[in-house]
């Protein structure tokens, strides 16, 4: 087992009935000047916007609405100006991962005089970890990214065509996770979110660190909850327990508790980022297409087979003595489960008909993801092309 440091102080308020009695004090403990960040119309339509405004009516609220999916640096710049001009004490982020991610960078940008893009890329002497920051309180409305309990943020800068993952000094101070707020999430988005959660878990499960059994066991446990409840949430969108298990699974999958002792970097996410960048397909759907092909590519390596067989036994409850057969059956189960959620399972189904861009995508994925040096099983550009190609049929 490898050495590690773990520290995650986010105060989680999970379930129905926390927002009404607790939101005001959770925000006001940090001061009276609040930057209220949100996305589109959905929180106005659902009544959440009015509820929040009403609960905080004695505080000074400035608003930053319209934060889009794949949050843009322009929103962060706008937030920086509002935070400075109004000397905000606390940011209230209400929405999905994009709203919270943008808020995380605004949090330090209030105390930075340059362009906040510097904070994202750690350039021009900007290091958000050495800059003061405004605490964040959030109300999550989508189960997927885990940003509500981690230090990650992804910000896009369309002028220079970059989408960069960055880390911030602190996790959100208080996160309100009310699963009933996700009951209106459409089936396709629920499927994509659930596949994303499974992919986060899979990326962390397949790691080279040895004898890391507590972490492996935790991941297996969360996987089984996702496998069980995602199809139920899709069939029965207002099933509270389904939404609750998915929401808590998404948080636990990416709050750093399940990968404390891991050593290698992720593989399928870098491969998928190219699909989304070139063809603008839904991230979770892309992960669902690529994951079984990546698994097929790496199962026969003698170092991976025992772990694939373990996944088969402990997560998919398969039995047998032949590890390779077990591994193949686990891949089939993964694929069948994705399909059962209504997700497309080949590239042509999402409009990618030929391999025109595969070489360029593979080069970029290998470079950005350090797949040839830091992955679980190292991949060359040719390996990556093969995985894309296998996804065509």
Stretch in the footprint of a second copy (CB under 8 A) among 33-41, 130-138, 205-213, 378-386: 205-213
Q: What span, in angstroms and rounded, lies between the C-alpha atoms of 364 and 177?
A: 36
- Identified binder of a second copy from the candidate list 41, 44, 228, 235, rule CB under 8 A: 228
For 20, 35, 46, 101, 138, the CA distances from 23, given in Å and listed in that order, are: 6, 14, 17, 20, 9
Q: Which residues contact 230 (CB under 8 A, 6 or more apart)?
A: 190, 191, 194, 242, 246, 337, 341
Tokens representing 353 are 């008909």
Site for a second copy in 90-109 (CB under 8 A): none
Stretch in the footprint of a second copy (CB under 8 A) among 33-41, 102-110, 211-219, 320-328: 211-219
Residue 249 interacting with a second copy (CB under 8 A): yes
Specify the residue for token string 């998404």: 250
Site for a second copy in 304-333 (CB under 8 A): 313-314, 317, 319
- Identified binder of a second copy from the candidate list 27, 100, 137, 219, rule CB under 8 A: 219
Residue 169 interacting with a second copy (CB under 8 A): no
- Identified binder of a second copy from the candidate list 110, 216, 269, 273, rule CB under 8 A: 216
- Identified binder of a second copy from the candidate list 50, 210, 325, 336, rule CB under 8 A: 210
Helix (H, G, I), strand (E, B) or coil at 254: coil
Residue 358 interacting with a second copy (CB under 8 A): no
Q: At what angle do helices 213-235 and 240-253 cross, to 10 degrees?
A: 150
Residue 223 interacting with a second copy (CB under 8 A): yes
- Identified binder of a second copy from the candidate list 13, 104, 200, 273, rule CB under 8 A: 13
For 15, 19, 144, 334, the CA distances from 246, given in Å and listed in that order, are: 12, 19, 8, 17
> 392 with 279: CB under 8 angstroms?
no
- Contacts with a second copy, residue ranges (CB under 8 A): 1-18, 179, 210-211, 213-214, 216-225, 228-229, 240-241, 244-245, 248-249, 252, 257, 260-261, 313-314, 317, 319
């Amino acid at each position: 087992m490898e050495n590690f440091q773990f520290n995650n102080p986010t105060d989680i308020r999970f379930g129905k009935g926390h927002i009404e009695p607790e939101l005001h004090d959770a925000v006001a403990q940090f001061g009276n000047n609040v930057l209220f960040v949100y996305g589109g119309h959905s929180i106005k339509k659902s009544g959440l916007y009015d509820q929040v405004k009403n609960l905080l009516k004695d505080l000074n609220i400035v608003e930053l609405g319209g934060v889009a999916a794949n949050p843009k640096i322009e929103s962060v710049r706008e937030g920086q100006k509002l935070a400075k001009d109004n000397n905000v004490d606390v940011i209230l982020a209400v929405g999905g991962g994009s709203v919270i991610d943008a808020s995380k960078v605004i949090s330090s940008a209030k105390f930075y005089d340059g362009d906040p893009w510097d904070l994202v890329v750690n350039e021009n002497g900007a290091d958000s970890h050495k800059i003061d920051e405004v605490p964040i309180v959030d109300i999550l409305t989508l189960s997927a990214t885990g940003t509500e309990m981690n230090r990650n943020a992804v910000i896009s800068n369309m002028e220079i065509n970059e989408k960069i993952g960055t880390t911030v000094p602190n996790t959100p101070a208080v996160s309100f996770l009310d699963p009933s707020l996700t009951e209106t999430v459409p089936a396709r988005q629920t499927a994509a979110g659930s596949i994303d959660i499974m992919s986060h878990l899979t990326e962390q499960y397949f790691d080279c660190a040895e004898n890391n059994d507590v972490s492996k066991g935790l991941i297996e446990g969360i996987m089984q909850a996702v496998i069980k409840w995602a199809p139920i949430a899709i069939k029965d969108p207002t099933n509270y327990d389904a939404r609750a298990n998915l929401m808590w699974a998404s948080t636990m999958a990416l709050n750093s508790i399940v990968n404390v002792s891991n050593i290698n970097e992720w593989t399928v996410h870098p491969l998928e980022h190219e699909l989304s960048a070139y063809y603008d397909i839904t991230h979770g759907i892309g992960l669902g297409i690529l994951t079984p092909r990546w698994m097929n590519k790496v199962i026969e390596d003698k170092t991976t087979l025992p772990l694939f067989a373990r996944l088969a036994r402990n997560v998919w409850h398969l039995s047998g003595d032949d590890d390779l057969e077990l591994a193949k059956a686990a891949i089939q189960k993964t694929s069948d489960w994705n399909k059962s959620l209504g997700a497309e399972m080949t590239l042509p189904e999402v409009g990618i008909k030929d391999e025109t861009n595969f070489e360029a995508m593979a080069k970029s994925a290998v470079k950005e993801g350090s797949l040839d040096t830091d992955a679980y099983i190292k991949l060359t550009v040719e390996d990556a092309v093969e995985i894309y190609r296998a996804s065509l049929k």
